[in-house]
Amino acid sequence: MLRLLLPLAALAALLRAAKVPERSFGIDYDSNSFVKDGKPFRYISGSIHYSRVPPYYWKDRLLKMKMAGLDAIQTYVPWNYHEPQMGTYDFSGGKDLESFLQLANDIGLLVILRAGPYICAEWDMGGLPAWLLEKKSIVLRSSDSDYLEAVERWMSVLLPKMRPYLYQNGGPVIMVQVENEYGSYFACDYNYLRFLLKLFRLHLGDEVVLFTTDGASQFHLKCGALQGLYATVDFAPGGNVTAAFLAQRSSEPKGPLVNSEFYTGWLDHWGHRHSVVPAQTITKTLDEILARGANVNLYMFIGGTNFAYWNGANMPYMPQPTSYDYDAPLSEAGDLTEKYFALRKVIGMYKQLPEGLIPPTTPKFAYGKVLLQKAGTVLEVLDGLSPSGPVRSTYPLTFVELKQYFGFVLYRTTLPKNCMEPTPLSSPLNGVHDRAYVSVDGVPQGVLERDKSLKINITGQAGAKLDILVENMGRVNFGRYNNDFKGLVSNVTLAQDVLVGWEIYPLDIDGAVNSGIIYLLDHLKRPAVKSLSYEVPTFYTGTLSIPGGIPDLPQDTYVNFPGWTKGQIWINGFNLGRYWPARGPQLTLYVPSNILVASVPNNITVLELEHSPCSSQACEIEFVDEPNINATLKHETEKLPLFVRELWMRHL
């Protein structure tokens, strides 16, 4: 052993004497360049969010990114994904960030880590945990002492895990972003940014490059940039590249030019058209960026999926759909697109593309129609959904006050007077966050919706049960309204009377689905239901059997909802997300093959919130082999410009 160590030590001494650098990554301000291992370095990167791609497919997506010619990937760390309850941390399964980083390293991809604490990302509350709102007056993303205390606790868990993965420590992480687009936030709190800078340096050391990202204007950089954090910008294709980088130069007179978010597409909202950005628009601007020797990150390179309840929303309140396809070079399901090959061709003009085969698009399979049957209404299975029973309160409590951060809560009271004639039930202060399904003694009355439907007429006798099932449709992720409380956030009135005496049921629907409570009910005989334009929220169940005799099954698929209106779907207990074909543009949901099994039937649970086809046509869903996230429907608004950051500024 000694004979082996001495030559190695001597070799290390010779390397130091010759000034051959060890693993290092930094900035050479004199040459306006990054420096990797002592040599000038320019990166071409692409965004992938590990939280939006099943771990089963991480390797496939990363290999496709590598074969496109990317040097690096960029990923966000959503705080609320890892700390769902205060002090409870989860880095297992799909949340195993360290395994994701190691896989990127093994494939030969560098990593640009966007560590937060705020990330935006069209993710619920921009990645901030909803439990922060237990202090109602908290000022998020500021020097508020309670906020800083929570951030410090979280970063003392996250950042030490990240330190071994820094490039100088043998890992793939070359840069770490602090906060995100802070110049677009109203607080403009430099002491907050200084706190983060000090905290990141404490846990990550002095060698790692720390940076910020803001819109490409002096307005955004004024509050987003801070000495000690390298300022980068983001901008869309089709714009003035020279002007955008001149904005960066206003904060960083020297150093590498960096576009940290070069948009390959754009996000969607329910009720609006699917965003599409032509490949030629992107390739033209990408060529301009690379011709300047600038560094670039393509946001997104693969968008992925907002499984379960993780989607965010923008203001005025517009929640994002389950698909985060983003019209990216790799589709939501990781498929190779025309845009992928067009961008790869441009990248190949500036660097040597890797040799080898590009992993093919994964096959899709149309399993066909699956018959569903009614398992029970939410009211019928209420005890199983809320095993701890109701919380009683004079006035409604919010989701946060109930420590229920996602999903659904049922609010129940009694009618204080006879309403034989239609009587207005309303939330005068727009207090339904976000959508409420109203019934009286089990008879459906209608829907209240944030910013859209603040009043409906109901009928019923005095003493009848008034049930309001409230859905959290995703917290605001951008701008000043991150403190997005859910539930009935203000009083509900019947005519002029404020309703009081509430029983409030936090619903653990995911737990009930996984424990089989809902599935056990599907064999109960129930009377035929006459066709109504609106029904009470109801569970339906069925099974999908993977056909035998066909090799390589199960494969990816998409589930379509002909005749269904709005709801949530689980397969084998996995929460696929929200469907809303009545509003669109997304009609099908992506079903990754890893949640399906071939050996036994796959259990399917659907919660339809408004109206199923089961009383008037076939009670079925259909598994198809092509997505439809761009349905042509009667949209609620005119088509918005593709890049609408400027429109959102008025809401900051």
Which residues carry out catalysis? 181, 261
Q: How many CA atoms lie within 13 A of 253 on its CB side?
A: 0
CB atoms within 10 A of CB 389: 11
**What radius of gyration do the chain's Cα atoms show?**
26
The CB density around residue 617, as the number of other CB atoms within 10 Å, is 11
Q: CA 492, CA 498: separation in Å to the nearest integer?
A: 6
**Backbone phi and psi for residue 397, each to the nearest 5 degrees, phi listed first:** -110, 150
Terminal Cα distance for the chain, rounded: 64
Best CA proximity match to 16, nearest among 39, 38, 46, 42 = 38
Tokens 């029970």 belong to which residue?
376
Asked if residue 123 lies in contact with residue 304, where contact means CB atoms within 8 angstroms, the answer is no
| One-character DSSP codes across 290-333 | HHTT-EEEEE-SB--B--TT-B-EETTTEE--SB--TT-SB-TT
- Measured CA to CA, the distance from residue 234 to residue 337 in angstroms comes to 24
How far apart CA 408 and CA 474 sit, in angstroms, is 11
Cα distance between residue 379 and residue 386, in whole Å:
11
**Strands 295-299 and 44-47, bridge-based pairing:** parallel
Alpha-carbon distances, residue 281 vs 221, 233, 290 (angstroms): 26, 19, 15
- Which backbone phi and psi does 502 adopt, to 5 degrees? -90, 140
Contact 229, 178 (CB under 8 A): yes
User: 3-state class of 252 per DSSP?
Assistant: coil
**CA distances from residue 65 to 122, 279, 340, 359, 518 in whole angstroms, order as listed:** 22, 17, 9, 10, 41
Q: Which has the closest alpha carbon to 220: 253, 193, 256, 186?
A: 186
In the DSSP assignment, the letter for residue 226 is B
d(CA 633, CA 272): 9
Which string of DSSP letters, residue by residue, matches 374-413?
EEEETTTTHHHH-TT-PEEESS--BTTTTT--SSEEEEEE
Query: Minimal CA–CA distance to 295: which of 181, 197, 193, 175?
Result: 175
Residue with tokens 């409380």: 485
- Give how far Cα 212 sits from Cα of 25, 42, 181, Å: 17, 18, 7
Nearest-5° Cα angle at 586, 585 to 592: 165
532 close to 374: Cβ distance less than 8 angstroms? no
